[in-house]
């Protein structure tokens, strides 16, 4: 394996490939590491390898010069060949990022990458850069993949593994007396996992807030398309779904009650967000809170990723479960209110850890976080977060914004 010091002798303008993560929320949490990497290598050509479903997330992001995507089902060998051929034809097979500070270098690049930083922990992600023949390959040490890396990085000091609790563990935790909780280390949050990898290349490991970007014209276009251009007053967002499973979803009846009360006190217009699979829930909420005086637009399954970003940026606040759009909203500067159940805000909460703009709500359920998709007991973690508490959190944010 090559030592960390060897990377310091790379050319002054290296060609760096970052293998991005596979999920929306995780991708947002990598943005501080990407910003630190750009800070360390201001003249580098930095390309991001990402699943096709996430490629539009990186438009307008100044840390990324080029976006290289792969399709669902595309083999590791195909991805490796694509990366190995990188630079044979200017602009192919990747796509230049129009907002990157160094995009001009795409047209004069030599073939091949000098260095790959592998953010996911999977064997596949290490194999992709191995088959690409990239000489420096840096990622976390994990089973079944270390051979394919030239530098296998040990876990950082504050790392906490997110492990599903067994039913027996949960039963033991909820049996009286309640088990005492041990505080998590300050650096337990997922963003430090990615910052630690960037630090292996000499980047600053200090945290930054996750950041995403949308252009003003994207916001105006989305407003026009979805009938918001002529609407006056505050726009609030509501995102009641969560792909991981029902253990992350605050009950829909509570969302309805909170939305009604918030609307009564603020006269806001509601935007309902979600994917196609969330349409049943958003339809239920829309039917329950719509009346002649209310303004509500159900967007579930109707937006592209860029449109979702533009509309989240437009919102004054987003009431949401712990899910990808939560991270996107916070990274765009929109405050979020989040009832947390089976997951942990200390580990995967939105924004920079400790950001006072966001309200991350937990109950005192001793079994949380269990990291399970479905609750094996009585769902006390999310049932224990009251409508009144959520309403108060949303109103506190709007009051702090002075609007």
Strands in 41-112 per DSSP E: 45-51, 66-70, 95-96
Would you give the DSSP letter of residue 65? S
Domains 4-153+190-199 and 217-400 belong to one CATH topology: yes
Per residue in 89-119, pLDDT tens?
A: 554 456 667 656 444 334 444 558 999 999 9
Q: What CATH architecture applies to the domain 217-400?
A: 3-Layer(aba) Sandwich (3.40)
The tokens describing 237, both together, are 């967002």
- Please report, in angstroms and rounded to a whole number, the separation of the first and last CA atoms in the chain: 56
Cα distance between residue 235 and residue 223, in whole Å: 11
Return the domain boundaries, the chain: 4-153+190-199, 217-400
Cα distance between residue 35 and residue 52, in whole Å: 22
Q: What pLDDT is stored for residue 180 in this prediction?
A: 72
Task: Cite the DSSP H helix spans in 86-201.
Answer: 123-131, 167-174, 190-199
The kind and range of the H/E element at 390 are: helix 387-400
The tokens describing 206, both together, are 């200090």
Cα distance between residue 68 and residue 192, in whole Å: 25
Cis peptide before 368 (omega within 30 of 0): no
- Kindly tell me the sign of the dihedral angle through the C-alpha atoms of 356, 318, 342, 123: negative
Q: What pLDDT is stored for residue 105 in this prediction?
A: 38
The tokens describing 136, both together, are 């420096």
Residue 268: C-alpha distances to residues 240, 317, 394, 396 (Å): 17, 11, 12, 15
Range of lowest pLDDT (70-84, 97-111, 284-298, 339-353)? 97-111
Q: Is the pTM of this model over 0.85?
A: yes
CA dihedral (351, 357, 359, 360) in degrees, to 10, reads 20
What percent of the chain clears pLDDT 90, i.e. is strictly above it?
73
Tokens 């309805």 belong to residue: 256
Find the mean pLDDT for residues 74-95. 79
Range of lowest pLDDT (24-33, 145-154, 158-167, 246-255)? 158-167
Residue 269: C-alpha distances to residues 135, 383, 403 (Å): 53, 26, 14
Range of lowest pLDDT (76-90, 329-343, 386-400)? 76-90
Q: What pLDDT is stored for residue 251 in this prediction?
A: 96
377, pLDDT greater than 60: yes
Cα distance between residue 191 and residue 210, in whole Å: 8
The tokens describing 360, both together, are 């991350």
Tell me the residue length of the chain. Answer: 403
- Kindly tell me the sign of the dihedral angle through the C-alpha atoms of 393, 399, 401, 403: positive
Helices and strands, number each (H, E), in the chain: 15, 13
pLDDT band at 229 (very low <50, low <70, confident <90, very high): confident
Task: Let me know the angle formed at the C-alpha of 125 by 18 and 166, rounded to the nearest 5 degrees.
Answer: 120
Per residue in 258-269, pLDDT tens?
A: 999 999 999 999
Find the mean pLDDT for residues 121-145. 96
The hierarchical CATH code for the domain 4-153+190-199 is: 3.40.50.2000
Task: Let me know the angle formed at the C-alpha of 140 by 185 and 147, rounded to the nearest 5 degrees.
Answer: 155
Tokens 């960037």 belong to residue: 198
Per residue in 244-299, pLDDT tens?
A: 778 899 999 999 999 999 999 999 999 999 999 999 999 999 999 987 777 899 99
Would you give the DSSP letter of residue 246? G
Between helix 387-400 and helix 252-266 the angle, nearest 10°, is 40
Q: What pLDDT is stored for residue 278 in this prediction?
A: 93
Q: What pLDDT is stored for residue 28 in this prediction?
A: 98
Mean pLDDT, all residues of the chain: 89
């Amino acid at each position: 394996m090559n030592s960390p010091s060897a990377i310091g002798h790379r050319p002054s303008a290296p060609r760096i490939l970052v293998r991005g993560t596979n999920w929306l929320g995780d991708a947002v949490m990598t943005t501080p590491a990407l910003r630190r990497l750009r800070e360390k290598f201001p003249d580098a050509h930095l390309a991001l390898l990402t699943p096709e479903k996430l490629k539009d997330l990186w438009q307008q992001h100044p840390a990324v010069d080029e976006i290289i995507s792969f399709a669902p089902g595309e083999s590791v060998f195909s991805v490796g060949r694509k990366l190995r051929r990188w630079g044979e034809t200017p602009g192919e097979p990747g796509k230049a990022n129009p907002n990157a500070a160094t995009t001009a270098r795409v047209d004069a690049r030599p073939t091949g990458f000098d260095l790959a930083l592998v953010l996911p922990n999977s064997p596949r992600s290490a194999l992709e850069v191995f088959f690409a023949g990239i000489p420096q390959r840096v990622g976390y040490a994990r089973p079944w993949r270390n051979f394919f890396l030239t530098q296998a990085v040990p876990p950082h000091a504050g790392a906490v593994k997110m492990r599903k609790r067994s039913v027996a563990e949960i039963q033991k935790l909820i049996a009286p007396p309640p088990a005492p909780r041990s505080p998590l280390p300050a650096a337990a949050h997922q963003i430090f996992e990615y910052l630690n990898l960037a630090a292996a290349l000499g980047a600053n490991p200090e945290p930054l807030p996750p950041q995403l970007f949308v252009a003003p014209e994207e916001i105006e276009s989305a407003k026009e398309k979805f009938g918001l251009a002529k609407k006056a007053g505050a726009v609030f967002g509501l995102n009641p779904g969560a792909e991981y499973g029902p253990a992350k979803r605050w009950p829909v009846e509570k969302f309805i009650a909170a939305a009604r009360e918030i609307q009564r006190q603020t006269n806001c217009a509601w935007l309902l967000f979600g994917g196609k699979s969330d349409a049943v829930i958003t339809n239920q909420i829309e039917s329950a809170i719509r009346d002649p005086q209310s303004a509500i637009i159900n967007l579930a399954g109707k937006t592209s990723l860029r449109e979702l970003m533009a509309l989240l940026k437009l919102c004054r606040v987003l009431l949401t479960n712990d899910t990808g759009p939560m991270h996107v909203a916070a990274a765009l500067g929109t405050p979020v209110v989040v009832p947390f159940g089976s997951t942990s805000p200390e580990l995967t909460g939105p924004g920079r850890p400790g950001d006072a703009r966001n309200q991350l709500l937990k109950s005192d359920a001793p079994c949380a976080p269990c990291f399970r998709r479905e609750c094996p007991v009585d769902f006390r973690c999310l049932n224990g977060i009251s409508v009144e508490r959520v309403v108060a959190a949303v109103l506190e944010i709007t009051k702090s914004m002075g609007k």
